[in-house]
Structure 1
Amino acid sequence: MAERTYWATHGGHPPQTDLLTDRAMFREAYAVIPRGTQRDIVTSNLPLWEGTRLWVLARPLTGFAETFSQYLMEVSPGGGSDSPEDDPGAEAVLFVMEGELTLTVRGDEHHAMAPGGYAFLAPGEQWTVRNHAAEPVRFMWIRKAYQRVEGVDVPESFVTNEQDVAPTPMPDTDGKWATTRFVDPNDVRHDMHVTIVTFQPGGLIPFAETHVMEHGLYVLEGQAVYRLNEDWVEVQAGDFMWLRAFCPQACYAGGPRPFRYLLYKDVNRHVRLGLGGMHR
């Protein structure tokens, strides 16, 4: 398998001579947060984390993400947290893009996660993270409130690396479109899927997908023209896209390298009745 690279911001601040024109867009059905907006001035901090800053790419908000939050984390050497999550009902996926992250689960299960490292953390799991390396570690942290179902077990936590998971080609695409799935799509214990979608140069989604899942897309590598509702938008490594449920989407991978993104979607649960998806 070819060596993988993952784009992660290093922050910084643009000079006063830069033009203001950018690709950032916030629409009713989608948002595009380009990598150029991920600057030092828009970082956040978290309680009980040391040596850490983050960029919040998505959060539950009227007219924005409804089912998840997504952080781009940067942890300095020696930094991390012994109490990273304050919501016992939250499940999570961590995906490492640069550096090495030491993840400890259940107090004594230690994992040195290198780039491509992927962890699913079940709701209520006891876990900690530390950076014991000499360079900062940068990783994605996706969080969702787990929807329990009576008679359905909660899935177990696990740690792997995308290099150890074979991508599944989409039918009739000659391998130009493939998805790396970390859980069985038919396993209804899981109410979210976080996968990696790969398009080889020239690959495309040949129709406007329109479906019930909400999406968060973080571009790991490459560039493409992406259809979002009625617009075609250029995107590249480091950009983030949010798509509300039923937002039409398609893409064409037009760059010289594969176009790859980390994809979140909510799955495998009844539609909650009431406006805004809330129970009455």
Structure 2
Amino acid sequence: MPERTYYAPHGGHPGQSELLTGRAVFTEAYAVIPRGVMQDIVTSALPFWDKTRVWVLSRPLSGFAETFSQYIVEVAPGGGSERPEPDASAEAVLFVVEGELSVSLAGKKHLLRPGGFAFLPPASGWTVRNESGAAVRFHWVRKAYEAVEGLDTPQAFFTSEQDVAPGPMPGTEGRWATTRFVDPEDMRHDMHVTIVTLEPGAVIPFAETHVMEHGLYVLEGKAVYRLNQDWVEVEAGDYMWLRAFCPQACYAGGPGKFRYLLYKDVNRHAKLGGAGVGGQAR
């Protein structure tokens, strides 16, 4: 596999001479958080994490997107956590974009470098540490796992983008491809985190309109993305947050590949509200 590059924020703070005008937008159907927004002032700290700050890209929000949260986490040398996840129901995906991250699970240590991917099931007791001499930056996607009677909880696994061949979309001659870390037929999984790659000039040629919520972080390149009724220019480091049924399409602008990390919820029935005892409506 060719060497990959991944955009990671480094923070900072704009000077007083900078223009206020930016590309950030929040609508009833989608939000765009440009990379220029990811400054020091918008970071958060987390309980039981040392030498760490996070950019919270998305969180469950009533009436918008409700299934997941996504962070970019920056851990300085020597930092990390022995109690990273306070919610026993939460599953996680970690994806490293810069530096080296040590993840310990069941007494075994796993070293993730750029492109490294980990799936961690709920209540798995994982810990994380930066044992290198430079900061590490990684995405952390969190979702409350939806258990189904008769299906086992999926097991933890560790891999890397470099070890997973992308699958071309039918009829695209490889110009639009998806790197899938989980078998789409595996019903144990209720979320997929993938990498979508479009060659320069490639398109998503119709307005996808579907029940899945999305988080899209641009890893590389630039494009014009259709969100609801708007065409929006995006580049490496930008984040798009889409509620269910928000129409979307894409034109990859070049000159290089356009690639993004994609979250979506999958493989579960829609939850029905207003049910009483025995499933009868109240």
1:215 matched to which residue of 2? 214
1:54 matched to which residue of 2? 54
1:104 matched to which residue of 2? 104
1:109: how far off? 1.1
SS at match of 2:36: helix
Q: What is the 5 A alignment of 1:225-236?
A: 225-236=224-235
Cα deviation per residue 1:196-239 (whole Å; 9 max; x = unaligned)? 00001111100000011000000000000000000000000000
CA root-mean-square deviation: 1.1
Q: Which letter maps to 1:36?
A: G
**Consecutive unaligned residues in structure 1, runs of 5 or more:** none
Between the aligned residues of both structures, percent identity stands at 71
Moved more, 56-65 or 28-37: 56-65
Quote the Cα distance in structure 1 between the aligned partners of 2:75 and 2:97: 12
1:2: how far off? 2.1
1:199 matched to which residue of 2? 198
Quote the Cα distance in structure 2 between the aligned partners of 1:63 and 1:45: 26
How does the TM-score come out when normalised to structure 2? 0.96
Moved more, 211-220 or 266-275: 266-275
Q: Which letter maps to 1:9?
A: P
Q: What is the 5 A alignment of 1:51-130?
A: 51-106=51-106, 108-130=107-129
1:27 matched to which residue of 2? 27
1:133 matched to which residue of 2? 132
**Consecutive unaligned residues in structure 2, runs of 5 or more:** 275-280
Q: What is the 5 A alignment of 1:233-252?
A: 233-252=232-251
Cα deviation per residue 1:10-33 (whole Å; 9 max; x = unaligned)? 000001111111110000000000
After TM superposition, where is structure 1 displaced by more than 4 Å over at least 4 residues in a row?
Answer: none
> What number of residue pairs does the alignment pair up?
276
1:62: how far off? 2.4
Quote the Cα distance in structure 1 between the aligned partners of 2:206 and 2:173: 17
Quote the Cα distance in structure 2 between the aligned partners of 1:146 and 1:62: 18
Q: What is the 5 A alignment of 1:162-173?
A: 162-173=161-172
How does the TM-score come out when normalised to structure 1? 0.97
Q: Which letter maps to 1:115?
A: P
1:3: how far off? 1.2
